[in-house]
Structure 1
Amino acid sequence: MAAVLTPKQAGQLLRDMEIYNGSPVTREALLLSALTFQRPGEIRQMEWAELDFDNALWTIPAVKMKRTKQAKMSGRPHYVPLSPQAVKSLQRLKPLTGHHKYVFPSLLGEGRRMSENTVNTALRRMGYDNETMTAHGFRAMARTLIVENLNVAPDVIEAQLAHGKSGPLGMAYDRAEFMTQRRKMMNEWADYLDKLRQGADVVPLRA
């Protein structure tokens, strides 16, 4: 999937998102795509009932994950630690969509979620064509920039991306797997995005 993969490009994308003049709900969908780097379908299906603000955690039921049919029915949820920036984004959304089931409801009727084309259409309006950036590209952007700039172990990133494991463990996710490291990573990632958006030095941050 097309994605911006350099700090300079990511900083410009974030600035373009900040001044996006479309729906404020779509703007927050763009931001949370960057902050959480979950799959576009998972973000569109996010429900208020899945969010634990006290513990800054988003619990995605197994049935919503990209898994085998058996894993969807019997697998464990995927846990997404939320950075303070992600929590603030959701708090901005609460007055707008908190009375709906979905965090990102459709404009076409109650009980429906945001269209799969909404985020991609917003990117096109900002000048990013299909060969430059896509909704799914936020995952590749995060995977690349975190590895290159934040000195995070690949296994921690893969766990956050909910990529399937190889070997006998398969999709048997442990609720606490890398959770401490993942929470630290998500906070550092959000802070790094803030710096890029503000035009800060984009020299890699490796220790």
Structure 2
Amino acid sequence: MPKVVKPLKDTEILNAKPREKDYTVFDGDGLLIVIQPNNKKIWRFKYSHPVTRKARLMTLGKYPEVTLKTARDLRAKYRQMLAEGIDPIEAIAVEKEKKSITFTFESVARQWFAMYGKLKKCNEDTLQRDLRKFENYLFPLIGYIRIDKLTTNIIEQALQTLQDQNGLTETAKKLKGKVTAILAWAVTKQWITFNPAREVSREVIRDWEVKHMAALPLEQLPDLLKRIENYTGKPMTRLAMKLALHLFIRSSELRMARWSEIDFDNKLWTIPATRKKVEGVKFSDRGAKMKAIHLVPLSDQAIELLKEVQQYSGMSDHIFPKENDPTGFLSETTITQALQRMGYDTQEEQSLHGFRTLACSSLTESGLYNPDAVERQMSHKEKNKIRGSYTWRAQFLAERKEMMVFWSNYLQCCYDGFISPLDFARQNKPKNDHESTVSELLNLLKAKYPQLEDDAA
């Protein structure tokens, strides 16, 4: 039978005399007072953690500053919290943490970005780009609001403002997802009790169409080729555009390229996963976007273009160095402005990235190539993870080599007038004579890049 504890009276506490050592007097239901040798009397509350069931002891304050009634009120409050599964010590620590930090949405969001960056769940460039969107669009609207005061209605109004005033529907949708993640993290930190972003109405984010990078209809390809050929600006800009069209690699893969990546003898460009960083040059360490080695077979036309480029930059490590600064690189703005000077609206008609669209659509329309081989040459990531686990080892090198020759020949033909990729394919079906070189090419690559061997293991 459990011992019955008789509730304390004020007179008993006042008359409790100090001893040589601490001793305890109990009031019941976990409330006790410790009498110390110096006659200090300290209220404490003893309980079991609601999850681990481990014994815990918390200090409530000194008597008589904390009266018997106040101590009992605190006990009742904390017993109610325990009944709801909340540990009082942890709850008080959270409240102190709230007061010790700047508890605004901006401050919490920045903490989340710092935490997410340490987890390395996405690359640093992407993380910084997302943070800049918050800095440009959301922080000015709701960054100053404490997150425990942030409501669903406030978030909805901010997202509507982005769409109404700035036309940023796609951005609003992406920001909503990030806000939800940030506030979910705040819930786990016990800074807030629920996530108001989860209740944002779907109707707040208007329907939007995916906006693809601008690319001309294939029928206008001959005119594009002539405009590039007749471009009167700097020769290196013209050559960069021509090479980008023939190889349809991404902008940074082209602009940050080094001569050491080119194998003229084997007609192969090997774009590494990352490149050596050039001090003071932003993004200079960017390699292949998918963070894996990307192989680009080189057609005869591409080889000739590279040799022409070599006459201008062969003395530099960089294929497209910045003008008057061999340590830098050609900027994307330079190529975009060149397209604009040629008469193209780079938002609606033709962009640099749109060269990839022209190549992909043409190769697909030709009907000659395995879609997986086209995707490999585009350096696209397999969206179906299960399927990707079976196809990731397939390099399709023979087919890709043939594909790049076909594409360069097609561009050369279109300079004189348009022909559909399908008709060109019927008239100029490539001979399948590259298989014998694949094993030799793979061995060469594995000798140069041992990690390829490791990946295949």
What TM-score does the superposition give when structure 1 sets the normalisation length? Answer: 0.89
Q: Which residue of 1 is the match for residue 262 of structure 2?
A: 51
Q: Which residue of 2 is the match for residue 66 of structure 1?
A: 289
Aligned partner of residue 269 in structure 2, secondary structure: strand
Distance 1:20 1:36 in 2: 19
* Alpha-carbon distance, 1:133 to partner: 0.4
* Alpha-carbon distance, 1:108 to partner: 4.7
Aligned partner of residue 237 in structure 2, secondary structure: helix
Letter in 2 for 1:52: D
Counterpart of 1:94 (choices 310, 315, 325) is 310
Q: Could you tell me whether the CA contact under 8 Å between 2:216 and 2:358 is conserved in 1?
A: yes
Letter in 1 for 2:215: A
Q: Which residue of 2 is the match for residue 194 of structure 1?
A: 412
1:116-127 pair list within 5 angstroms = 116-127=332-343
Q: 1:186 to 1:203 in 2, by over 3 A?
A: closer
Distance 1:195 1:102 in 2: 31
1:88-167 pair list within 5 angstroms = 88-130=304-346, 131-149=348-366, 151-165=368-382, 166-167=384-385
Q: State the number of aligned residues.
A: 198
Q: Could you tell me whether the CA contact under 8 Å between 1:3 and 1:137 is conserved in 2?
A: yes
* Alpha-carbon distance, 1:128 to partner: 0.7
Q: Could you tell me whether the CA contact under 8 Å between 1:5 and 1:140 is conserved in 2?
A: no
Deviation per residue, 1:64-88 (Å, 9 max, x gap): 1223xxxx3xx4x111001000000
Q: Could you tell me whether the CA contact under 8 Å between 1:26 and 1:119 is conserved in 2?
A: yes
What TM-score does the superposition give when structure 2 sets the normalisation length? Answer: 0.41
Query: Which stretches in structure 1 are left out of the alignment for 5+ residues?
Result: none
Q: Could you tell me whether the CA contact under 8 Å between 2:228 and 2:241 is conserved in 1?
A: yes
Distance 2:289 2:249 in 1: 11
Distance 1:173 1:26 in 2: 35
Deviation per residue, 1:49-76 (Å, 9 max, x gap): 1000000100000121223xxxx3xx4x
Q: 1:97 to 1:150 in 2, by over 3 A?
A: farther
Distance 1:163 1:61 in 2: 15
Distance 2:408 2:266 in 1: 17
1:9-28 pair list within 5 angstroms = 9-28=220-239
- The question of 1:180 aligning with 2:403 is answered no
Q: Which residue of 2 is the match for residue 29 of structure 1?
A: 240
Q: Could you tell me whether the CA contact under 8 Å between 1:5 and 1:145 is conserved in 2?
A: no
Distance 1:157 1:177 in 2: 11
* Alpha-carbon distance, 1:199 to partner: 1.5
Letter in 2 for 1:31: K
Q: Which residue of 1 is the match for residue 121 of structure 2?
A: none
Q: CA RMSD in A?
A: 1.9
Q: Which residue of 1 is the match for residue 43 of structure 2?
A: none
Percent of aligned pairs sharing the same letter: 38
Query: Which stretches in structure 2 are left out of the alignment for 5+ residues?
Result: 1-212, 275-286, 427-457
* Alpha-carbon distance, 1:150 to partner: 5.2
Q: Relative CO higher for 1 or 2, CA cutoff 8 Å, sep ≥ 6? A: 1
